[in-house]
Structure 1
Amino acid sequence: MKLRPGFVLELVVNFLLPWLVYRYSHPHLGETGALIASAVPPILWSLIELVRFRRVDALSVIVVGGIVLSIGAMALGGSPRMLLLRESLVSGAIGVAFLLSLPMRRPLIFYLARASVAREMEGGAARFEALVQERPGLSGALRMMTLVWGVGLTGETALRSWMALTWPIERFLVVSPFIGYGIYGALTVWTVWYRKSLRKRSEPSVPADGVAG
């Protein structure tokens, strides 16, 4: 994906601004108030997208959902182990959402991919949907990617949750980042490989005599 200005702006709104709002409001509002305040930029961005393009920004929904889950985890208690579980809940919820979307006509990654294409080009959403209609194999590929990411994120949450509840806190803090980044890295590498293999299979083969001529 090319770093187009619209995509960079969306990353700033959904990741940088929430972090800045949280950091500077935390001393004044406390942790819960700062988390609520950090949800304002992606919510406003999603509303602007809805008014302008009649679509809900999928990335904003995921970010806001993660913030809501963090607030919910805080409400369950502030014990050290509950705080360790809090960041795992976000990826777990996304993984479960991926898996729950599999029986639907369009899996969740379809909407994420369509939103990405819509940001990159004018009329991209319509062109992406037309491409899915023209190539039946693309729909199956999106469903496979949804399954793999759903299983990966859910498994990562289950593993880290078990570690947080059973391991000493010091050991968890040392090992947990390697587990998380390792799984995310493996999923990313698989996705890149899978996309390349799909692209190769979709390219028309050139007959040998045509090459010789």
Structure 2
Amino acid sequence: MPAGGARRALVLLVDVALPLAAYYGLRALGVGSRPALIASALVPVVSAAVQFGRRRHLDPMAAFVTAVMLLGLVASLVSGSTRVILARDGWVTALAGVWFLGSVRARRPLVFEGARPLLEGRFRSDGTSWDVLWERSPQFRRIWRVSTVIWAAAMVADGAVRVVAAYTLPVDEVPLLNALLWPVTLVLLQVVNGVYYEIAGLWRITRPPPQTGWRCVGVPGS
């Protein structure tokens, strides 16, 4: 697995699996739902702090998610509401979707930046730099802007489901639902985007067919 993929898998483990294990582990020990939720919510924050301490750098998405989580924790402590903590993941996801949407008209949309380390020069590519493709192909630019809109819509919808679940389902069911929604949303996004890339012709741009032409054959006596 490429280093970038391994790093993303580790982040997913820390930010999704460990908080879930922490919550249900504490509940099994008899800890109340609100303290268990607060403790589990601190896991991604600690992860972000460790990342910053090691690299002296925090990528924008991690900084955004950490800031929203901290705000959610403060709001829950002030309000005293367990439901506010449960809804935190939904608000984080929905706000991230709005951020993705806002990047559509930026110099480079977020999905382009996220896909580039995984695909550029590796998957169905003739080796042409994506910077070159971005500058010379309006179709290439449009594909990544539309893909970013798809991601934004999916994240807002995912966030809305999480918020509704946080205020309607039994408290102990919500953390599990939140964890299960991530793979469902990501798989659907991969399928929808994969179909869109084929239809829109992304791979014809990154790996165009070889040029063919007529070869002149000399005619004896001509």
Shorter-chain TM-score range? 0.5 to 0.7
Are residue 10 (structure 1) and residue 19 (structure 2) matched? no
Partner of 1:52: none
Deviation at 1:77, TM superposition (A): 1.1
- Please show how residues 80-91 of structure 1 align to structure 2 within 5 Å: 80-91=82-93
Per-residue CA shift, 1:147-173, capped at 9, x if unaligned?
000011011111221232234436656
Partner of 1:40: 49
Deviation at 1:85, TM superposition (A): 0.9
Decide whether the 8 Å contact of 2:4 with 2:117 is kept in 1: no
Q: Distance in 2 between matches of 1:9 and 1:63?
A: 17
Q: Distance in 2 between matches of 1:154 and 1:61?
A: 19
Q: Identical aligned pairs, as a percentage?
A: 19
Decide whether the 8 Å contact of 1:149 with 1:187 is kept in 2: yes
Partner of 2:61: 62
Between Structure 1 and Structure 2, which shows a larger proportion of helix residues? Answer: 1
Q: Distance in 2 between matches of 1:173 and 1:147?
A: 27
Deviation at 1:107, TM superposition (A): 1.7
Whose radius of gyration is greater, 1 or 2? 2
Q: Distance in 1 between matches of 2:157 and 2:18?
A: 31
Partner of 2:129, secondary structure, is helix
Q: Distance in 2 between matches of 1:12 and 1:177?
A: 15
Partner of 1:77, secondary structure, is helix
Decide whether the 8 Å contact of 2:16 with 2:179 is kept in 1: no
Give the direction of change, closer, same or farther, for the CA distance of 1:16–1:176 in structure 2 (3 Å limit): closer
Which shows bigger deviation, 74-83 or 179-188?
Answer: 179-188
Give the direction of change, closer, same or farther, for the CA distance of 1:37–1:167 in structure 2 (3 Å limit): closer
Q: Structure 2: which 5+ residue stretches go unaligned?
A: 27-37, 123-127, 216-222
Q: Distance in 1 between matches of 2:146 and 2:54?
A: 30
Q: How many pairs align? A: 187
Q: State the superposition RMSD in angstroms.
A: 4.0
What TM-score comes out, normalization by structure 1 length? 0.66
Are residue 106 (structure 1) and residue 103 (structure 2) matched? no
Partner of 1:138, secondary structure, is helix
Q: Does 1 or 2 have the higher relative contact order (CA < 8 Å, sep 6+)? A: 2
Deviation at 1:135, TM superposition (A): 2.2
- Please show how residues 194-205 of structure 1 align to structure 2 within 5 Å: 194-197=196-199, 198-199=201-202, 201-202=204-205, 203-204=208-209
Partner of 1:147: 149
Partner of 1:53: none
Partner of 2:105, secondary structure, is coil
Decide whether the 8 Å contact of 1:13 with 1:45 is kept in 2: no
- Please show how residues 154-193 of structure 1 align to structure 2 within 5 Å: 154-169=156-171, 172=174, 179-193=181-195
Give the direction of change, closer, same or farther, for the CA distance of 1:8–1:178 in structure 2 (3 Å limit): closer
Q: Structure 1: which 5+ residue stretches go unaligned?
A: 49-56, 121-125
Q: Distance in 2 between matches of 1:164 and 1:191?
A: 28
**What letter corresponds to residue 132 of structure 2 in structure 1?**
A
What TM-score comes out, normalization by structure 2 length? 0.63
Partner of 2:76: 77
Deviation at 1:138, TM superposition (A): 0.9
Partner of 1:39, secondary structure, is helix
**What letter corresponds to residue 65 of structure 1 in structure 2?**
F
Give the direction of change, closer, same or farther, for the CA distance of 1:19–1:108 in structure 2 (3 Å limit): closer
